[in-house]
Each structure stands twice: as C-alpha cells, then as structure tokens.
Chains A and B, each alone.
Chain A
Amino acid sequence: GAGVSQSPSNKVTEKGKDVELRCDPISGHTALYWYRQSLGQGLEFLIYFQGNSAPDKSGLPSDRFSAERTGGSVSTLTIQRTQQEDSAVYLCASSLAGRSDEQFFGPGTRLTVL
C-alpha cells in the first residue's frame, strides 16, 4: 500500500527490556513524526525528522527514548529499560515537506509493558 506502515502492530514486553518500533513513511515524504497516545489523552509529540536537518527531540520524555531515521526513509523508535508507564500506542506520521502539510498517520504500535 501507499500509506504509512508501522511494525509490530502489538508489542508486549517485560519491564526493563528494550523495544524497537519501526515506521515506514509514505515514499517521497521528507518529514516524519513520532507521537505517543495514552488512553484518554491527546497525542503527545515525541520527535520530528525533516530531511537532513537535525531532528527535533524536544518531545522525548526521557533519555531512555531515542529515534533514528536511516537514509531519509525508515525510522525506528527505541525505548530502553521499558517502564509500565511507557505502555501506550505509538503513532508515526509523515508529511510531504513538514510545514503545515497534512500528516498521514500509520496504524500505530500498541506497546504493553508488564
């Protein structure tokens, strides 16, 4: 398909383990975003990639969270030493150029930390 894809769709892990979440943006989109969606909360911005510019990491909640984007396409969000409060749906989105462009969201990865 031509949409944003994410994997895995569901991830259950034990507290203290590391997890990697993957996002494949729409081909040709230069901007990529990661969000966290907790139950009953609005989407929380985590990190933003735009082309070759330095990413905006201002939304990452702690140094246990990191993300990279290889070759300007696929992105991985890594959470180290997971905690129960990390349980949420992690959404990835991409947009054509970034500035006020419509963001197209993936289906999300539901992370459950036991």
Chain B
Amino acid sequence: KNQVEQSPQSLIILEGKNCTLQCNYTVSPFSNLRWYKQDTGRGPVSLTIMTFSENTKSNGRYTATLDADTKQSSLHITASQLSDSASYICVVSVVGSNDYKLSFGAGTTVTVRA
C-alpha cells in the first residue's frame, strides 16, 4: 500500500476557478513534504516545501497547507490558468540516514479548460 495517497486522481476546472488537491500520508518519522508540478513530457518541478513545524507555504497562486497531526496536506490553486494543467505530486521525506528516500504519491492530474 502506498504510504502517500492523493485525491482526486484527476479533475477538470474552468480557467479562473480555484481548486484544492489533497494528500494523506502515513510515513514516519516525517522530515518534510513537497509538492511538485509535472508538465506533460517533463520532469517534476518543486512548488513548495514544508517542514514539520510549518502550516502553510505559498508560491504565487499555489498555497500548500500541512497538518502534521492528521498527516494531511493540501495544495490550493487560485485563479487557475491554462498553464496550470499538469500533474501535481505530493512527496514526503522520511527522517534518518536514509532520508534521501522519498515516498511519492501517484499524483493528481489537473486539466484547466478555457
């Protein structure tokens, strides 16, 4: 069973609308959580990173939240643009000598339509 679960699997929204993506994780001990954006045919690019003590982090129209108690994170996209169409991947890093090992969610595919 994947230790990082994302929902929804995919969604379609109209340009200008907002949307929220969810990430639930079970990995521990927790080091940090990143959200990546992966455009079609490209490698993932980091959007935000949050450590255990951070609750929210913004990057332009992207805002990530983290609740370490419930092990949930969300990524909110405000005023979506066509260029936001991509796969968004939640990645959790585990503390320890092997903390370069990351647990990846399967991603949420977002399609923004005009």
Contact = CB atoms under 8 A, between A and B. Distances in A.
B75 to A, nearest CB: 16
* Size range of the chain A interface in the assembly: 20 to 34
Contacts of B93: 100
A107 B42 contact: yes
A34 interface: no
Q: Which of A33, A45, A100, A102 has the most CB of B within 10 A?
A: A100
Contacts, number: 54
Contact of B43 (A4, A48, A50): A4
Contacts of A108: 41-43
B99 A99 contact: yes
Interface in B1-55: 2, 4, 9, 31-32, 34, 41-46, 49
A105 B45 contact: yes
Q: Which of B46, B98, B106 has the most CB of A within 10 A?
A: B106
A91 B89 CA distance: 14
B2 to A, nearest CB: 6
Interface in B94-111: 98-107
A45 B43 contact: no
Interface of B: 2, 4, 9, 31-32, 34, 41-46, 49, 89, 93, 98-107
Nearest 9 pairs of A and B residues by beta carbon = A105-B43, A42-B104, A43-B104, A42-B106, A105-B44, A98-B100, A106-B43, A107-B43, A107-B42
